[in-house]
Amino acid sequence: MNKSMRIGLLTGGGDCPGLNAVIRAVVKTAINDYGMTVIGFMDGYEGLILNRYTTLDKNSVSGILSRGGTILGTSNQANPFNFPILQNDTYVYLDRSSEVVANYERLGLDCLIAVGGDGTHAASAGLEKLGIQVVGIPKTIDNDLVGTDQTFGYDSALVTATEAIDKLHTTAQSHHRAMVVEVMGRYAGWLALGAGLAGGGDIILIPEIPYEIEVVCDQIRERNRLGKNFSIIVIGEGAKAQGGDIVIKRIVETSPDAIRLGGISYQLAAQIEGLTRLETRVTVLGHLLRGGSPTPYDRILATRFGCEAVHLAAQRKFGRIVVLKGQCVESILLEEVAGKTRKVPFDSPLIRSALSLGVSMGVTSERIEEMMTQPQTVA
């Protein structure tokens, strides 16, 4: 039965290193183990809506393991249930899920493997209710998907951010400056926390813990008192001051998640410079974190995810998403993931390690201990 299976494959949402590795794994496993046919849709759900696809074979995926990006392309605006169409200089939003179902059936597909973040999987969960058989694969540099210990893309972004912080150390020391490094991560602080620890950051500010500007400046002043006349501050784009709001860079009307974060680092740097009189500079890493070749870890994780997704499809275990639990690749129900965000828990071992190293999280130690006793909900 599996030899006649036809599976669709798409990569949705923001790109990240490792997407080509997972495409390669899906195609090779499907053909080698089961003799399946693989149909790749261009630009995420946009390809399934507009019926733009290509048949993928082993030649199609030759030599792509180490390449960043995705050979299929992607889109973070192609929501099948709320698809933007420009009419008379104004966007209108249409439910085109019926077209997705029609194209899926017209191509004789038995399953759709969707690779993406929370937005992609929320759409997948909706399509599953319309009869499309879905298997999900988690990816994002933000590492913020519920149910999996890690997503592929995170390790590669972490390496890029850490290398940038390493380089900023020397110029910060030379000029006796405070350096604020802003990283992506949206509303979760995994990337800022990991890069801050790996790069030797002196202050790490994450969305989960609204910071107090006086506590931040006190840490900088204390370092200066000890003869350390420079400081590295790593901040997640979704961080905010206590009593303040997130900083929105722009609004993308046509995107399911219209808010684009960015700019908190400039606000913070101005405050630091004004309160400490220490020259402060900003580096925003931005989309640099999404680019480049995937690390060996991400290549292996993406490969394991891709292989397991095909095995699930062959076993007709649909409505599930592949996840990493410890060192094991497993699967959970797609509905457990869709539309949810995994944030850094207050009692995270990473936070505890940072505090043991003398790193400031932007609040007093008493406040941190108080937060560790509080329940934390998934957004």
Which residues does the annotation mark as catalytic?
Answer: 142
CB atoms within 10 A of CB 198: 16
**Strand boundaries in 20-107, DSSP class E:** 37-41, 53-56, 83-87, 90-94
**124 in Cβ contact with 334 (< 8 Å):** yes
Best CA proximity match to 208, nearest among 351, 5, 90, 52: 351
Question: In angstroms, rounded to a whole number, what is the distance separating the alpha carbons of residues 307 and 33?
Answer: 10
Residue reference for tokens 């891709």: 306
In the numeric block, which tokens belong to residue 342?
């995994």
The token duo for 159 is 């390496």
User: 3-state class of 236 per DSSP?
Assistant: strand
Q: In what order do the strands lie in the sheet with 111-116?
A: 53-56, 37-41, 6-11, 111-116, 134-138, 320-325, 328-333
Q: What does the DSSP 8-state code read for residue 360? A: B
Please report where in the chains the tokens 């020391």 appear, as a residue: 173
